Amino acid sequence: MAKQIYDSIAMKRALTRMTYEIIEKNKGIDDLVLVGIKTRGVYLAQRIADRLKQLENAEVPVGQLDITLYRDDRHDASLAQDPVVNEADLGFDIKDKHVILVDDVLFTGRTIRAALDALMDIGRPKKINLAVLVDRGHRELPIRADFVGKNIPTAMDEQVAVYVDEVDGKDGIELKKL
């Protein structure tokens, strides 16, 4: 049984509000880059970039980050000891840039920790902020989002499902019982 939390219109509003907050906090978009965590974070980052272009009349680079090799919950013997993420994954240099890391759901914080490790292997940004569409709580690490679309308190036997049209054929957020 799934309960709809956000429909496509509410999701668009949340992303627009987050975009305004990003502009306000950074006093513009100078040296700003967006890095989406695969998979849905990439599409959310692109939507924020599109809105930034509408509002600020300037392009903000968007890259994608695959953090699979950096997960601390993967115990696959075939993974290399020192995994490498290529700059080609981003398509731009993050040195001395202000990086907005974008993901769909913030839960334990382990995905974000892995993303931070991957970013540091690529380069040394001036600053990193975190933007998430949903913060569901239950942190295991001291990580918090700077820009949040919706706080959704959850139980451990619940799952937050974020749908994006580019992958799922629809936009929305649902809360499901496991």
The closest alpha carbon to 119, from 81, 62, 82, 70, belongs to: 70
Which tokens is 145 given? Answer: 């989002």
**For residue 116, how many other CB atoms are within 10 A of its CB?**
18
Within the chain, strands assigned E span: 2-6, 32-37, 62-65, 98-106, 127-135, 147-151, 158-163, 172-177
Q: How many CA atoms lie within 13 A of 116 on its CB side?
A: 15
Structural domain boundaries in the chain: 2-71+88-177
pLDDT at position 1, please?
82
pLDDT score recorded for residue 74: 58
pLDDT score for 75: 54
Pick the CATH number of 2-71+88-177 from 3.30.365.10, 3.30.1360.30, 3.40.50.2020, 3.40.640.10: 3.40.50.2020
Q: What is the pLDDT along the chain (178 residues), one digit of tens a residue?
A: 899 999 999 999 999 999 999 999 999 999 999 999 999 999 999 999 999 999 999 999 999 999 888 867 655 544 445 444 444 468 899 999 999 999 999 999 999 999 999 999 899 999 999 999 999 999 999 999 999 999 999 999 999 999 999 999 999 999 999 9
Size (the chain), residues: 178
Provide the pLDDT for residue 168: 97
Strands 62-65 and 2-6: unpaired
What lies within 8 Å, CB to CB, of 54 at 6+ separation is none
Pairing outcome for strands 172-177 and 2-6: antiparallel
* Calpha distance 72→164 (Å, rounded): 27
The full DSSP string for 49-80 is HHHHHHHHSS---EEEE--GGG-TT---TTS-
Fill in the amino acid letter for 45: A
Burial class (CB in 10 A: 0-12, 13-18, 19+), 80: exposed
